[in-house]
């Protein structure tokens, strides 16, 4: 996703603080006021501590120890994570229930067997993984105890005893918190930045974006509204996403998952004055295109695998090309907006949006855009536009690319979508 601010607001966040390579994607923070060096060092320590607890790739992390018999012995089967991990584990409880177990931190074993056992940049496009997708682990629902076939694992998130931020396991379990973990780290850092009083700021952690609601001294009057789409939650209040006069606007280009030089839409984020108890706005994207590798089947044929798996099958999700989830600042009581946006963007690969609306806690207010594989000839897009209208860019010019997707989105997703 590419970010730009309108008018003079662009100058508001002119200070840049970069953390290359962290969380697998790196992170850039832009802020209205300079972040002092000691504060930058504190943020860096926070990220390092977070990875030391939750990274699947660091040799001495707590998560890594849980997957190793020696690590279990050293910790006496008791893994005391930092207290700030408690809300993350709570979020995974909710995601697990909302997706009927399709989002599950225990997916780590499936990723390892598919060849994703090291940081992705070490996988590259080299030789095919030796992990055959035909025996990729999953959790068959109807297999009795003692009858689990070779290649399947039985551990799931519910089977791990938890007390607050402490996890207990007597047998090795490979956890992966990639679905919502990076967004959660962004939320932790945003709370630190808000406490610093550095003015308006944006955190960009790859596909996870957090926009503070602190009003900048710069502002620009503008309005944005969005036509109704094809999916809407009838049980949750729908709030207009018209941007009020005097509100700062940030526009985000939504990258075509198969062409990084092309946008499939423009998302408009309105950033209003911060109110008590109000967090910022989050916009998170998920797409498998940049994390794919070759896997050899049992019959020696090769297929492309990616990192977004259905935990029930242990296999890569199919049929969805990319997702975006928007959590507005109006979501009162939403303390971890980026974690929820991150997790739901992943969940949309394995669950339908209406199912998620019906099964997530009612205080979780989110909007979404999902690109499905293929675009039938002559079909009207989810935005309600004909192919002729949807193929124009933000300035009304015909789009330069031909869409390969069907767009599906909620009624309040604040974007103009260019899908033919």
Instruction: Quote the CA–CA distance of 102 and 215 in Å, as a whole number.
Output: 39
pLDDT at 398: 39
Sheet holding 415-417, edge to edge: 2-5, 248-256, 259-271, 415-417
CB 192 within 8 A of CB 46: yes
Instruction: Quote the CA–CA distance of 400 and 295 in Å, as a whole number.
Output: 34
Rg over CA atoms, the chain? 22
State yes or no: pLDDT of 40 exceeds 90. Answer: yes
**Both tokens of residue 294?**
């070759």
pLDDT (average), residues 185-194: 95
State yes or no: pLDDT of 368 exceeds 60. Answer: yes
CB 254 within 8 A of CB 1: yes
**Both tokens of residue 156?**
């799931």
pLDDT at 290: 72
CB 101 within 8 A of CB 139: yes
Lowest-confidence range among 48-57, 89-98, 260-269, 302-311?
A: 302-311
Instruction: Quote the CA–CA distance of 227 and 420 in Å, as a whole number.
Output: 17
State yes or no: pLDDT of 197 exceeds 60. Answer: yes
Instruction: Quote the CA–CA distance of 45 and 62 in Å, as a whole number.
Output: 17
Max mean pLDDT range (31-45, 188-202, 243-257) = 31-45
pLDDT in tens, 61-83: 999 999 999 999 999 999 999 99
């Amino acid at each position: 996703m590419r970010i730009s601010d309108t008018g003079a607001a662009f100058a508001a966040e002119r200070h840049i603080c970069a953390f290359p390579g962290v969380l697998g994607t790196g992170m850039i923070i832009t802020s209205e006021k300079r972040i002092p060096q000691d504060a930058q060092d504190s943020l860096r320590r926070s990220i390092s501590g977070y990875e030391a607890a939750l990274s699947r790739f660091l040799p001495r992390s707590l998560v890594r120890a849980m997957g190793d018999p020696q690590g279990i012995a050293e910790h006496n089967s008791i893994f005391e994570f930092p207290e700030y991990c408690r809300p993350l584990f709570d979020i995974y409880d909710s995601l697990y229930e909302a997706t009927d177990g399709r989002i599950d931190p225990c997916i780590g074993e499936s990723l390892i067997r598919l060849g994703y056992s090291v940081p992705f940049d070490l996988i590259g496009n080299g030789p095919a993984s030796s992990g055959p997708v035909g025996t990729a682990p999953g959790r068959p629902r109807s297999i009795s105890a003692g009858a689990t076939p070779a290649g399947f694992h039985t551990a799931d998130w519910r089977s791990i005893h938890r007390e607050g931020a402490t996890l207990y396991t007597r047998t090795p379990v490979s956890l992966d918190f990639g679905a919502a973990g990076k967004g959660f780290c962004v939320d932790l850092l945003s709370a630190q930045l808000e406490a610093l009083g550095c003015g308006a700021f944006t955190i960009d952690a790859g596909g996870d974006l957090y926009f503070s609601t602190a009003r900048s001294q710069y502002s620009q009057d503008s309005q944005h509204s969005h036509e109704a789409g094809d999916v809407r939650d009838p049980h949750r209040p729908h709030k207009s996403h018209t941007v009020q006069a005097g509100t700062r606007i940030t526009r985000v280009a939504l990258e075509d998952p198969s062409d990084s030089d092309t946008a499939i839409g423009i998302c408009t984020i309105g950033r209003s004055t911060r109110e008590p108890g109000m967090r910022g706005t989050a916009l998170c994207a998920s797409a498998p295109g940049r994390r794919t590798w070759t896997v050899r089947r049992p019959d020696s044929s090769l297929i492309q695998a990616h990192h977004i798996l259905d935990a029930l099958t242990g296999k890569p999700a199919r049929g969805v090309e990319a997702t975006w989830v928007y959590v507005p600042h109006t979501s009162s009581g939403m303390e971890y907006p980026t974690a929820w946006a991150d997790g739901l963007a992943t969940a949309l690969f394995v669950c339908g949006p209406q199912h998620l609306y019906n099964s997530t806690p009612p205080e979780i207010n989110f909007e979404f855009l999902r690109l499905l594989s293929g675009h039938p000839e002559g079909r009207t897009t989810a935005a309600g536009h004909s192919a002729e209208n949807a193929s124009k860019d933000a300035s009304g010019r015909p789009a330069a690319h031909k869409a390969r997707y069907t767009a599906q989105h909620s009624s309040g997703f604040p974007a103009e979508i260019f899908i033919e």
